[in-house]
Amino acid sequence: MTKHDYKQHAYYMIYLIRCVLHDQIPKKEKLDKIDLSKLYEVAENHSLTAITAYALESARVVDERFTQAKAKAIRKVLLHDIERTKVFAEFENARIWYVPLKGIILREYYPKISMRQMTDNDILIDMTRQNDIRDIMVLCGFSVQSFEKSKHDVYFKEPVCNFQMHISLFEADNKDPLYNYFKDIDKRLLKDSDSKYGRHFTDEDFYLYIKAHEYKHFSSSGTGLRNLVDTYIYIKQFGKTLDWKYLSVEFERLGIMDYEKETRDLSLDLFNGRHLSDTEKNLLDYFIFSGTYGNIENMVNNRVADNNGSKLRYILSRVFISPEIAQKRYPFFYKHKIFMPLLPFYRIGKGLIKNRTKVLNEIKTVIKMKR
């Protein structure tokens, strides 16, 4: 698919999603222009196949790929809900506080919860009970995919249940304003009314978190259109009741006030069918060509920019990691410091074995850069 076709079908997808959000049936003259194979590829790249399927279904357009995507989304919601209920019951019994994050909350505000596709169940936990939670997850039939290697532990249960248990909302980095702002968020959590140990954000703090999390991806390797849908859905649900004076102050503290305003305006204009300014169109292009989880080109460009435009500094930052990261991700090398000089070679070798395509694409992108 050419870049032009990809962008055009991203706009078609946005139109279809707009119809769903406003309970409208897509117009035939618009549908006749769509190549369903290209539409499916774009929707897949942005984790928006299910909501797009609902739009097509409303217009009686049948495509097996979209039908299957919708069915899988519904199945995943059901399985995740069943497993999450079991896990939370065990947390209650063990007196462990917990907070559902991101899509678990956002999906409730969509016209149908299965419209908001989810890969993971993200849950903030009491970090002092990390070992107890691992035991509970194993007891519930989950396998441990990753433990004490980052801000979240990863658990998986066949066929599709992926749980990420967060001890922190952002990776520990005292230079990162997002980490510093949210590192003590547990002190601002509210107690759920229907459980003893369930917790939740205020509506304002949840919005601060989802926009900060979004910005982290946006400023790194990019992020996709689903975030714009999430923003529109949340503002539509709470925009009139949110304390915008408080939010303005807090977004300023986070350093993302302009980002929040620009993406909020874009989402509202986009899904209310209003004319976009040239600035909004350029911003939308970045979302369109990033996909759900960003891309290598964005990551390299953004990180080189963070290193004052120096490719050499970027390369050195990728090869030589900080002691804090080494302690977390490579405890053997950190403990046996005599081997630390070998760590860069170990990381490169491991990357080429486990993520060969990604590593080679990053190298090619760096080589192609003009600066």
Q: Is residue 108 part of a domain?
A: yes
State pLDDT tens for residues 308-334.
667 677 677 777 777 777 777 788 888
pLDDT band at 366 (very low <50, low <70, confident <90, very high): low
Residues 104 and 195 in one domain: yes
Residues 2 and 48 in one domain: yes
On the question of pLDDT at 370 being above 70, the answer is no
Number of domains in the chain: 4
State pLDDT tens for residues 113-131.
999 998 899 999 999 999 9
Q: Is residue 113 part of a domain?
A: yes
Residues 247 and 309 in one domain: no
Q: Which helix (H) or strand (E) holds 164?
A: strand 161-166
Q: Is residue 317 part of a domain?
A: yes
Residues 259 and 356 in one domain: no
On the question of pLDDT at 369 being above 90, the answer is no
Domain extent at residue 225: 202-294
Q: Is residue 70 part of a domain?
A: no
Residues 145 and 249 in one domain: no
Residues 28 and 145 in one domain: no
Residues 250 and 342 in one domain: no
d(CA 130, CA 120): 18
State pLDDT tens for residues 26-39.
999 999 999 999 99
% of the chain with per-residue pLDDT over 90: 75
Residues 160 and 214 in one domain: no
Q: Is residue 21 part of a domain?
A: yes
Do the beta carbons of residue 73 and residue 117 sit within 8 Å?
A: yes
Give pLDDT, residue 303.
65
Q: Is residue 178 part of a domain?
A: no
> Could you tell me where the DSSP H helices lie in 95-186?
103-106, 130-139, 177-182
d(CA 218, CA 227): 10
Residues 58 and 89 in one domain: no
d(CA 227, CA 234): 10
Residues 144 and 226 in one domain: no
The average pLDDT across 143-164 equals 95
% of the chain with per-residue pLDDT over 70: 91
Q: How many CB atoms lie within 10 A of CB 275?
A: 7
Residues 157 and 246 in one domain: no
Task: Write down the mean pLDDT value for the chain.
Answer: 91
- Beta strands (DSSP E) in 217-365 are none
Boundary residue ending a domain (32, 62, 92): 62
Read off the DSSP letter of residue 274: P
Give pLDDT, residue 220.
86
Q: Is residue 68 part of a domain?
A: no
Greatest extent of the chain over all pairs of C-alpha atoms, in Å? 68
